């Protein structure tokens, strides 16, 4: 019945645990795929081209924007991030659920272009907790951390534009709630073609048994 | 965080298994309560006053309508059914999730008066399956069964007005899906008071630690 897939957007402050929570649900939702973003930022240790991000130069990125190859794009902490259109549309038409981790400006563009997308906001348990998480992540400089913190504080105000929120006080609980939201959204009446559905369901009505 | 509860409306053809599916989820959602309807129809074997229905005379029922004591009411197969307003509003303000089993006309009234309600449509796997279920339920007369079947066929067309649909091909799967929908809806951003939430979450921002 579920011919078409849909898009799930996960946002939230840097340090909220978006990647960890996303990674925890892949094994239990077989048709879930990760939308790989394009970025101009430098790879962090362990990040792989085409799996974590498509790493591009600012010049390459602006050519993709000009050609309309990105559904959304935004600048964040001095770097550009964008979502390749072809991949998302292709996966959804194949019935896949595409999940992506983007910030609030990008999510607002998605909401306009794909109103049927599911927008989820992930939060750390508190502001103090967020500070501690970012400070203990030793891979960024103090300035980057300070900038991310201020940005995160502003981002919380964008939560009103999202469909769902999840408080990441425990990885397993947060992952379970994301899984629950995605599974519930699979039952949305607005995602099925009602005429086809009715024809299938009523198949036996003319029987005289 | 979840100060307010919400209303879940379960509809679907007679024989789809609404009561069985509802009963299967009560143990796993602690704050779920059943909205007891008022009806003018005769009690079936085993049905209890105030638990399955409030059984009332047509005269009593029309007085409740006149006094505005019902959120919705409808005639169905010659009998009247309605939802007492006081009970639902009181439970929601206490943070309870109120679930009710009503037909499509009543659900449309709920949608208008309480747009934040969650509307779920439960379907048997097929039209033929529905026929067999109703025929094997020996408690109704042949005429009542024929009338219910025709009514059920019309009701499927109302599915478009619902938020979610569930196909009851297996009781445990259908109950799990209803549970999933209710748990996902608990995470709706639109159900929280964002100002209060932000204040709580940002509690520690002024700390200088």
Shortest alpha-carbon distance between residue B66 and chain A (Å): 35
Pair B176, B132: CB distance under 8 Å: no
More confident: B151 or B188: B188
Strands B118-123 and B6-11: parallel
Other CB atoms within 10 A of residue B9 CB: 26
Residue A82 CA: distances (Å) to CA of A33, A36, A55, A159, B125: 17, 9, 11, 20, 42
Q: Does any CB of chain A come closer than 8 Å to the CB of residue B113?
A: no
Other CB atoms within 10 A of residue B60 CB: 12
Q: Does any CB of chain B come closer than 8 Å to the CB of residue A163?
A: yes
Q: Does any CB of chain A come closer than 8 Å to the CB of residue B153?
A: yes
Other CB atoms within 10 A of residue A134 CB: 20
Interface test with A, best of B179, B187, B198 (most A CBs within 10 A): B187
Pair B15, B134: CB distance under 8 Å: yes
For chains A and B, count residue pairs whose Cβ atoms are closer than 8 Å: 99
Burial class (CB in 10 A: 0-12, 13-18, 19+), B191: middle
Strand (E) or helix (H) holding A97: strand A97-101
Contacts of A131 in chain B (CB under 8 A): 204
Contacts of A188 in chain B (CB under 8 A): 163-164
Interface test with B, best of A164, A187, A197 (most B CBs within 10 A): A187
Q: For residue A156, give the nearest of B126, B131, B198 by CB distance.
A: B198
Across the interface, do B187 and A166 touch by the CB < 8 Å criterion?
yes
Task: State how far Cα B102 lies from the chain centre.
Answer: 6
Shortest alpha-carbon distance between residue B42 and chain A (Å): 30
A163, A161, A181: which is closest to A173 by C-alpha? A181
The three-state secondary structure class of A33 is: strand
Does residue B107 come out as left (phi exceeding 0), alpha (psi in the -120 to 50 range) or beta?
Answer: alpha
Name all domains of chain B by residue range, CATH numbers in brackets.
Answer: 6-35+95-201 (3.40.50.300)
Contacts of B207 in chain A (CB under 8 A): 128
Pair A157, B183: CB distance under 8 Å: no
User: What predicted TM-score, i.e. pTM, was given to this entire model?
Assistant: 0.84
Q: Does any CB of chain A come closer than 8 Å to the CB of residue B6?
A: no
| Separation of alpha carbons A98 and A85, rounded Å | 12
Tens of pLDDT along chain A (209 residues) come to 546 899 999 999 888 899 999 999 999 999 999 998 899 999 999 999 988 889 999 999 999 999 999 999 988 889 999 999 888 998 999 999 999 988 888 899 999 989 999 999 999 888 888 888 878 776 677 888 888 788 877 888 899 999 999 999 999 999 999 999 999 999 999 988 888 888 888 775 544 43
Across the interface, do B202 and A153 touch by the CB < 8 Å criterion?
yes
Q: What is the DSSP letter of A105?
A: H
Q: What is the pLDDT of residue B197?
A: 84
Pair A17, A174: CB distance under 8 Å: yes
What confidence tens digit (pLDDT) does each residue in B13-47 have? 888 899 999 999 999 999 999 998 899 999 999 99
A81-90, Cβ contacts within 8 angstroms, sequence gap of 24 or more:
A81/A37, A81/A38, A81/A39, A81/A40, A81/A41, A81/A106, A82/A37, A82/A38, A82/A39, A82/A106, A83/A35, A83/A37, A83/A38, A83/A110, A84/A35, A84/A36, A84/A37, A84/A38, A84/A54, A87/A35, A87/A36, A88/A7, A88/A35
Across the interface, do A180 and B180 touch by the CB < 8 Å criterion?
yes
Interface test with A, best of B201, B203, B207 (most A CBs within 10 A): B201
What confidence tens digit (pLDDT) does each residue in B159-176 have? 999 999 999 999 999 999
CA nearest to B152 within chain A:
A202
**Which pLDDT band holds residue B65 (cuts at 50, 70, 90)?**
very high
């Amino acid at each position: 019945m579920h011919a078409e897939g849909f898009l799930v957007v996960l946002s939230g402050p840097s340090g909220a645990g978006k990647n960890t929570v996303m990674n925890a649900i892949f094994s239990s939702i077989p048709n879930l795929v990760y939308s790989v973003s394009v970025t101009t930022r430098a790879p962090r240790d362990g990040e792989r081209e085409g799996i974590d991000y498509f790493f591009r130069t600012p010049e390459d990125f602006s050519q993709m924007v000009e050609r309309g190859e990105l559904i959304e794009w935004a600048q964040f902490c001095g770097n550009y991030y964008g979502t390749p259109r072809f991949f998302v549309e292709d996966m959804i038409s194949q019935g896949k659920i595409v999940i992506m981790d983007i910030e609030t400006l990008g999510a607002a563009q998605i909401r306009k272009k794909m109103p049927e997308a599911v927008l989820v906001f992930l939060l750390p348990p508190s502001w103090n907790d967020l500070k501690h998480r970012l400070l203990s992540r030793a891979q960024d400089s103090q300035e980057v951390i300070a900038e991310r913190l201020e940005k995160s504080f502003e981002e919380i105000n964008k939560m009103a534009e999202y469909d769902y929120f999840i408080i990441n006080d425990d990885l397993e609980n947060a992952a379970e709630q994301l899984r629950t939201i995605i599974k519930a959204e699979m039952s949305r009446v607005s995602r099925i073609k009602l005429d086809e559905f009715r024809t299938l369901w009523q198949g036996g009505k003319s029987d005289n048994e």
